[in-house]
Chains A and B, each alone.
Chain A
Amino acid sequence: MKRYSVFAIAREAVRYHLGWERAWASPEPKASYDAIIVGAGGHGLATAYYLGKNFGITNVAVIEKGWLGGGNTGRNTTIIRSNYLQDPSAAIYEKARALYETLSQELNYNIMFSPRGLLMLAQSHHEVRGYLRTVHANALQGVQTEWISPQRVKELVPIINIDGPRYPVLGALYQARGGTARHDAVAWGYARACSGMGMHIIQNCEVKGVRSENGQVTGVETTKGFIGCKKLGIVVAGHSGQLAEMAGFRLPIEAVALQALVSEPIKPCMDVVVMANTVHGYMSQSDKGEMVIGGGTDGFNNYTQRGSFHHIEETLRALVETFPIISRLKMLRQWGGIVDMTGDRSPIISKTPLGNCFINCGWGTGGFKAIPGSGWAMAELMAKGEPGPLAAEFNMWRFKEGQFIDESVAAGVAH
């Protein structure tokens, strides 16, 4: 893997840019690997990367049904934050946010991390109390957040209307180092680093079955034939239920559609991320000038990556009151992704009933921000066979035991 640098640009400039190599290789699969990761999205590639970097396991294949980063990694609103209430959530999301800070340098790939600041508006007294509690919890967890007044909100977001009438802004939970990153670049950067370590990234290869012997996984049946493995990591988001079924167990997960949309590009008018949870909408401005908008999930099981139009209408109707400026904006495009929702809306990073088969799923509507931390924790789980401190509480048996992580971190809104 050739390093990207200013010298590389200069070198290529004098030879007509003929020396750039492909960012990652596309090899044919070997007969077997030490570890196979199913799913080459952000979480799967991050898992592979930290398996190599933290544990020296590089005989790894990442198998992808479609193309790399083409699922939810390429369909989210790119928001990064870690202002969660409960300790397990705050720990893993803050780990991810901290890794994002230096990820461009580490991967030698510009992921365009932009810690521009993130506001969660309180538009009811209930929310004021909730966010004050979160600020105090975050202080104990070492996550830097603060409570700010409506006037400070107005200073940070001049286009906002704080006076209501229906939902006046009563303050906000502010995380100054929250922000956004280029979602595709996160997947590409990890893929390039994985390929550089000698791992195989196999695209257009769908897993059709999981083979096991004496309760231990032995490999996967794919459209490119059987591939053996000693350890299997399932990191497939929306299709986790299907993969779990192949592996012989059922997950406490349901798949629903979540949509996002962007407006036509306009001049820079908002340099922070704003989330309004009472009215179910959140917005940021991309580098191209589009307003990137997300809202709530659909209410029924769905695998089509198409959502219902009335959710978009609800989201925009709510945001127009808070941001009157967007009332005349034309919306440019809209898309949907399939999110995997668990019963307590927190993720699952867990061993499974099948030996040496591990699963990382259930990130629901909030997976992008967690990619580096999720990969870190999943790699530790796969390498050691036992969860580390980041993953321990996210096991899949917590539903039976009633040990929920009582926080709607992926509540179908606010990501």
Chain B
Amino acid sequence: MLILECPYCGVKAEETELSPGYEAHLKRFGPGSSPEEFEAYMFARKNPKGVHFERWRHTYGCGKWFLAARCTATLEVFGTYPAQVSEPPADIIAKIQARRPDWKGYK
């Protein structure tokens, strides 16, 4: 059972209270973009075995979207943070580097 702490309301929510939203920090491409760009954004999502950044929604709580840093190989959660950022905040990066010294970094 996955438990994530909502960064807005501070509730430690288990996953039935949350909705998954897949990859975080996506750059969106719409009309006018090339087929390659649109495919990369729409379908060729990051699928790492290890550190992953994801969108989650606290659906049955405050209803807000937030982001989470998680390990897909162990289900370890490194931390959650508000969604109003374009890349992971420094404290989350530091936490991940402490736990995963061989992590190649974001991007």
Contact B1 A401 (CB under 8 A): no
By a CB distance below 8 angstroms, the chain B residues around A306 are 75
Q: Taking A250-B44, A308-B15, A343-B43 as contacts, is the C-beta distance between A300 and B74 under 8 angstroms? A: no
Of all chain A residues, the one with the shortest Cβ separation from B74 is A304
Interface residues of B in 1-55 (CB under 8 A from A): 1-2, 15-16, 19-20, 22, 35-36, 38-40, 42-45, 47-49, 52, 54
Judge if B73 is at the interface, Cβ distance under 8 Å: yes
Judge if B72 is at the interface, Cβ distance under 8 Å: yes
Q: In whole Å, how far is B52's beta carbon from the nearest beta carbon of chain A?
A: 6
A406 to B4, CA, bound (A): 34
> B66-77 CB contact bits vs A (8 Å, 1 = yes)?
000010111100
Contact A399 B39 (CB under 8 A): yes
Contact B75 A302 (CB under 8 A): yes
* Residues of A in contact, count (CB < 8 Å): 25
Of all chain B residues, the one with the shortest Cβ separation from A401 is B35
By a CB distance below 8 angstroms, the chain A residues around B20 are 299-300
Among candidates B19, B38, B42, B72, residue contacting A301 with C-beta atoms closer than 8 Å:
B72
Contacting chain B: which of A74-82, A174-182, A198-206, A251-259? A251-259
Q: In whole Å, how far is B30's beta carbon from the nearest beta carbon of chain A?
A: 14
Contact A310 B22 (CB under 8 A): no
A300 to B67, CA, bound (A): 13
Of all chain A residues, the one with the shortest Cβ separation from B47 is A241
A309 to B16, CA, bound (A): 10
Q: In whole Å, how far is B5's beta carbon from the nearest beta carbon of chain A?
A: 16
A241 to B47, CA, bound (A): 7
Contact A252 B22 (CB under 8 A): no
By a CB distance below 8 angstroms, the chain A residues around B42 are 343, 399
Judge if A352 is at the interface, Cβ distance under 8 Å: no
Of all chain B residues, the one with the shortest Cβ separation from A404 is B43
> B90-102 CB contact bits vs A (8 Å, 1 = yes)?
0000000000000
By a CB distance below 8 angstroms, the chain B residues around A301 are 22, 47-48, 52, 54, 72
A342 to B45, CA, bound (A): 10
Contact A308 B44 (CB under 8 A): no
A302 to B50, CA, bound (A): 9
Q: Taking A242-B49, A302-B72, A309-B1 as contacts, is the C-beta distance between A252 and B44 under 8 angstroms? A: yes
A287 to B101, CA, bound (A): 49
By a CB distance below 8 angstroms, the chain A residues around B39 are 252, 399-400
Q: Indicate the member of A303, A306, A342, A343 with the most B CB atoms within 10 Å.
A: A303
A301 to B54, CA, bound (A): 9
By a CB distance below 8 angstroms, the chain B residues around A303 are 49, 72-73
Contact B45 A254 (CB under 8 A): yes
Contact A400 B73 (CB under 8 A): no
Of all chain B residues, the one with the shortest Cβ separation from A342 is B43
Q: In whole Å, how far is B6's beta carbon from the nearest beta carbon of chain A?
A: 16
Judge if A53 is at the interface, Cβ distance under 8 Å: no
Interface residues of A in 216-263 (CB under 8 A from B): 239, 241-242, 250-255
Q: In whole Å, how far is A396's beta carbon from the nearest beta carbon of chain B?
A: 10
A201 to B68, CA, bound (A): 41
Contact A300 B1 (CB under 8 A): no
Contact A310 B16 (CB under 8 A): yes
A304 to B19, CA, bound (A): 20
A304 to B52, CA, bound (A): 14
A254 to B46, CA, bound (A): 8
By a CB distance below 8 angstroms, the chain B residues around A402 are 35
Q: In whole Å, how far is B14's beta carbon from the nearest beta carbon of chain A?
A: 9
Q: Indicate the member of B35, B36, B47, B70 with the most A CB atoms within 10 Å.
A: B47
A226 to B63, CA, bound (A): 52
Among candidates A242, A251, A299, residue contacting B19 with C-beta atoms closer than 8 Å:
A299
Contact A304 B1 (CB under 8 A): no
Of all chain B residues, the one with the shortest Cβ separation from A253 is B47
A303 to B50, CA, bound (A): 9
> A300-341 CB contact bits vs B (8 Å, 1 = yes)?
111110101110000000000000000000000000000000
Mind listing 10 A-B residue pairs with CB under 8 Å? A251-B44, A255-B49, A300-B20, A303-B49, A308-B15, A310-B1, A343-B42, A399-B42, A400-B35, A400-B36
Chain B interface residues toward A at CB < 8 A: 1-2, 15-16, 19-20, 22, 35-36, 38-40, 42-45, 47-49, 52, 54, 70, 72-75
